[in-house]
Chain A
Amino acid sequence: DGGITQSPKYLFRKEGQNVTLSCEQNLNHDAMYWYRQDPGQGLRLIYYSQIVNDFQKGDIAEGYSVSREKKESFPLTVTSAQKNPTAFYLCASGHESSGANVLTFGAGSRLTVL
């Protein structure tokens, strides 16, 4: 099954702990994105990466960190500094088409902080 794989699907964390969400793609896409999906707020961009070893902050990057050491992988760490981490997290990869990236999404990871 080609595409984007996010793991784990469900994750529980105690307050004060960091947690890392995995995102792997085999689509050979250069760009990768992390979004947070909350009811009534749509998708908000956390971080994105256009190329290996480079990434940019999105609109709500505080309390999160990422790395892009390989083209296929874009893990997201939710740190203890994130004040409201309970959410549904979506990873996407993008390929350029006619001047803009078209995104392919993963199935998501639901993080619950206890």
Chain B
Amino acid sequence: AQRVTQPEKLLSVFKGAPVELKCNYSYSGSPELFWYVQYSRQRLQLLLRHISRESIKGFTADLNKGETSFHLKKPFAQEEDSAMYYCALSLGGATNKLIFGTGTLLAVQP
């Protein structure tokens, strides 16, 4: 069955520390993976997707098919990075169904 796992409910780091939000997926097809972010009192929005291979707000994520992972990383956390982060898997094809993980709350302490 298709599944997205985010093992950490809460990740607390100090400003300037590196951040890694973990995401693992289970899917027999060709995965299309995303990170969505929800800042306080704002709508859920797309942060980045793996095929873009770009850095958004200093965040990057690399798809590792061997480990079935798509971890989100940032070398130096900022207080404004504090938010809820969701990893999502698109099944693509005819369904274009999008499955989300349970989310990780990132708290960046000053």
Chain A residues near B (Cβ < 8 Å)? 31, 33, 35, 40-45, 48, 50, 56, 58-59, 90, 92, 94, 96, 98-108
Q: Is the CB of A103 within 8 A of B98?
A: yes
- The number of chain B residues with a CB under 8 A from chain A is 24
Knowing A99-B32, A100-B32, A101-B90 are in contact, say whether A94-B96 is a contact too (CB < 8 A). Answer: yes
Chain B residues near A (Cβ < 8 Å)? 6, 9, 32, 34, 36, 43-46, 49, 51, 86, 90, 92, 94-103
Q: Main secondary structure on chain A at its contact with chain B?
A: strand
Q: Which single residue of chain B is at the shortest CB-CB distance from A4?
A: B43
Q: How far is the CA of A8 from the CA of B99 in the complex (A)?
A: 25
Q: Is the CB of A107 within 8 A of B92?
A: no
Q: Of A42, A45, A106, which is within 8 A of B97 by CB? A: A45
User: Which chain A residues lie closer than 8 Å to B98 at the CB level?
Assistant: 33, 45, 94, 100-101, 103
CB distance from B22 to the nearest CB of A (A): 14
Q: How far is the CA of A35 from the CA of B100 in the complex (A)?
A: 10
